[in-house]
Structure formats: structure tokens, C-alpha cells
Amino acid sequence: MFEQGFDNSYHPFKQYMFKKMQRRNFLSSSCKICLLGAAGFSLIQIESCSPAASVYKTAITNGELQVPVNLFEKNTLQIVRPTGWYFDVAVQKNPDNSYTALLLQCTHQDNQLTPTSNGYHCSLHGSDFDKQGNVKKGPAEMPLHHFKTSINGNMLNVHINNFQP
């Protein structure tokens, strides 16, 4: 096309057009790279993110985490972040209306786990756990720590007692 084999010898109009084409090509390729970057980022997000679990922050009171039951109406998985803890607690409402509360601390080498569509994943060495905390893939060998739960009115109590992660 115009720029291929373009005679770059001095001519004001040709110089102007040449620079304009270079700028246009630069902007075009930059935008394509940006779009690819954005698309790649989205794919990473989609792949690494689990079901959109919301994070509920609360303090441990009298050895319990108290989580409003109505939070589970929108999303059956709630990530609970106890004040002062490094590790989160995943609370899953099961199809039979029971609840499973798991400490998201990998039993291999203590990395924080992330929820996936069918359980929890450790990004450090690749262990996978199912929604009940059982090991699906090592190197972890032990299941996740479970906490007992109970319902008190419109609150779900996760019984931490004296546990320290």
C-alpha cells in the first residue's frame, strides 16, 4: 500500500503523510495489544475466579462467627473474614440446607485457598479440595479444617471456640 516502498525523500506532503501513517499504525497496534491484554486479563479472571463469592467481615464473638442467614439467599457460598485472622472461612449452604464451614488454609504448607466452581484451589503447589474440604489433588494429604455450625434465629453461628489458625 501507500507506506510500502514509500519514497521517503524530502517532500513536505509525503513527509506529513509518512508520519501520519506511522502514527496511525502505532496507535492501531497499541490498541490491539491493549485489547489482547484486556481480553487475557478477563480470561485469567474467569479462569482463576470462582463463583462470585462475596466476603463478609466480622469479629469472633464468644468463640463464634455470626453470619446473617439471608446472605445465602443470593449466593450459597460466603467467604467469612474473621477480624485479625490471616485465613478466611468458606461457608457453603448445601442443597439439603445444612452448612459447611471450612478454614481456607491449605493443609500442605498453609497457603490461603481460593474458591473454584467445584471446591477450593491452592495456587502455591496446586492442591485441590472439594466443597466438603476433602483432598482431590495433592500434594496436600489432609482435608481442610471444619467448623461446626448452628442456626440461631436469622444468624448462622460458626463455632470457632478457641481455634487459632
- Residue 118: closest CA among 51, 164, 71, 54: 51
- Cell matching residue 82: 474473621
Among positions 139, 143, 155, 165, the unique one binding ligand FES when judged by CB under 6 A: 139
**Which of the stretches 35-43, 69-77, 85-93, 119-127 binds ligand FES when contact is defined by CB under 6 A?**
119-127
127 binds ligand FES (CB under 6 A): yes
Q: Is 50 exposed, middle or buried, given 0-12, 13-18 or 19+ CB atoms closer than 10 A?
A: middle
Among positions 77, 122, 135, 160, the unique one binding ligand FES when judged by CB under 6 A: 122
125 binds ligand FES (CB under 6 A): yes
Among positions 78, 105, 111, 157, the unique one binding ligand FES when judged by CB under 6 A: 111
155 binds ligand FES (CB under 6 A): no
Which residue ranges make up the site for ligand FES (CB under 6 A)? 106, 108-109, 111, 122, 124-127, 139-140
